[in-house]
Amino acid sequence: MTAPITFVGGKGGVGKTTLAAARALALADTGLRVLVLSTDPAHSLGDALEASLSDEPAEVAPRLWACEPDADAAVRRRIAQVAEDARQAVPTEVMPAVHRHLDQAGSSPGMAESALADLLIDRMDEVGDRWDALVVDSAPTGHLLRLLHLPTLLTPWVVGLTRQRERANRAEAFADVVGRSGPEEDDDPLLRRLHARRHRLERASARLREDAVVALVTVPRRMVLAETARAVDQLAGAGFALDRVVVNQIPPEGAAGPDTAAALAATRERFAAQGTVEVPLQDTEPTGAARLRRLAAHLDTGAPA
Ligand SMILES: Nc1ncnc2c1ncn2[C@@H]1O[C@H](COP(=O)(O)OP(=O)(O)OP(=O)(O)O)[C@@H](O)[C@H]1O
Ligand SMILES: [Mg+2]
């Protein structure tokens, strides 16, 4: 096995979900406990696995669990928690304004993304304990790049909040004429939460670079090659490890038109450094365990990259 965590990425419609499911199934067949999870808000992992999935991991094959986290539900839970904290802390007449503010925050796309990153980090934290391997099916390229960067992007924000809180605590201590010390981290629940959150984000950033690989999926078409090449450069530049590039939907020998044949040759050459794995175009849609296993046979998941 290459790394315990694999992100499957690539342009829209190339076969990310199908290959994430196939790869997860192949890993589970080698005896590992595997979780495959979808971070695409338009989930289709359940369709690929022919299983009905929800927020909570469900066992869909021996040693294989799958889930489709509900980012909107996570946002609603977080907002309800903040509203409850506010209800205890502010006068009743201020609450309508608090609710208006929270409604607005809740519908911002950034909130759903950060809730999704949180759900993903929860699952990453379970790797090594509940799961031996985690396979993440992602939405098209741009979304994956943002998702991988989120832990790093959120850290300075948490550090800033922490500093403000520490300053406020110190000011309180100075103002205390008797000279008693102000609230330290030990007795400041907010500061404790901020420190824990910062460590969690730093751990996730490090983990994404140490224990994760990105398997990009492409198909033999010039435009898809161009986008895959950009993603390879961006990911490598940001310090993420790349697995072999999966070239999917390869037509049978002799059946490829000249454009496809040329795009395939260019794809092999462009990704020679990363290495490529080729998956043939199937004549039936590869859904369900039996057909996914036939696809997975081409992925060679047992061998190191
Ligand atoms: N090797 C293959 N042979 C035949 N059909 C395939 C192959 N790989 C994927 N497909 C089919 O292509 C379609 C798109 O696949 P899939 O949903 O896995 O792509 P995706 O990259 O996850 O798409 P999206 O960007 O919308 O999430 C599906 O109907 C799937 O069954
Ligand atoms: Mg998909």
d(C-alpha 243, C-alpha 212), whole Å:
9
Residue listed under structure tokens 């925050």: 105
Count of structural domains within the chain: 1
**CA distances in angstroms from 239 to 134, 182, 229, 236, listed in the order given:** 20, 42, 16, 5
d(C-alpha 47, C-alpha 58), whole Å:
14
| Predicted pLDDT at 303 | 44
| Predicted pLDDT at 1 | 52
d(C-alpha 305, C-alpha 54), whole Å:
32
Q: Whose CA is nearest to atom 10 of ligand 1?
A: 15
What is the atom index within ligand 1 of the atom nearest the CA of 12? Answer: 25
203 in a structural domain: yes
239 in a structural domain: yes
Does residue 102 or residue 236 have the better pLDDT?
236
Give SS3 for 216.
Answer: strand
Give the mean pLDDT of 261-275. 96
For residue 44, report the distance from its CA to the centre of ligand 2, in Å: 6
Q: Which residues surround ligand 2, an ion (CB under 5 A)?
A: 16-17
Using the predicted structure, report yes or no on whether residue 269 has a pLDDT greater than 90.
Answer: yes
Which parts of 68-140 fold into alpha helices (H)? 71-89, 95-106, 109-125
Using the predicted structure, report yes or no on whether residue 128 has a pLDDT greater than 90.
Answer: yes
Residue listed under structure tokens 């190339």: 14
For residue 287, report the distance from its CA to the centre of ligand 1, in Å: 9
d(C-alpha 194, C-alpha 79), whole Å:
17
Give the mean pLDDT of 204-213. 92
200 in a structural domain: yes
88 in a structural domain: no
For residue 271, report the distance from its CA to the centre of ligand 1, in Å: 21
Q: Which of 162-171, 177-186, 201-210, 269-278 has the highest mean pLDDT?
A: 269-278
Q: Pseudo-torsion of CA 235, 236, 241, 244, nearest 10°?
A: 90
177 in a structural domain: yes
Using the predicted structure, report yes or no on whether residue 194 has a pLDDT greater than 90.
Answer: no
Pocket lining: 62 vs ligand 1, CB cutoff 6 Å:
no
For residue 208, report the distance from its CA to the centre of ligand 1, in Å: 26
184 in a structural domain: yes
210 in a structural domain: yes
Amino acid letter, 238: A
**CA distances in angstroms from 262 to 36, 187, 203, 265, 267, listed in the order given:** 34, 66, 43, 5, 9
- Any idea what the CATH number is for the domain that residue 26 is in? 3.40.50.300
Q: pLDDT-based confidence at 193, cuts 50/70/90?
A: confident
| Predicted pLDDT at 176 | 62
158 in a structural domain: yes
Pocket lining: 44 vs ligand 1, CB cutoff 6 Å:
yes
**CA distances in angstroms from 76 to 86, 102, 106, 291, listed in the order given:** 15, 10, 7, 37
Q: Which domain holds residue 291?
A: 5-75+105-296
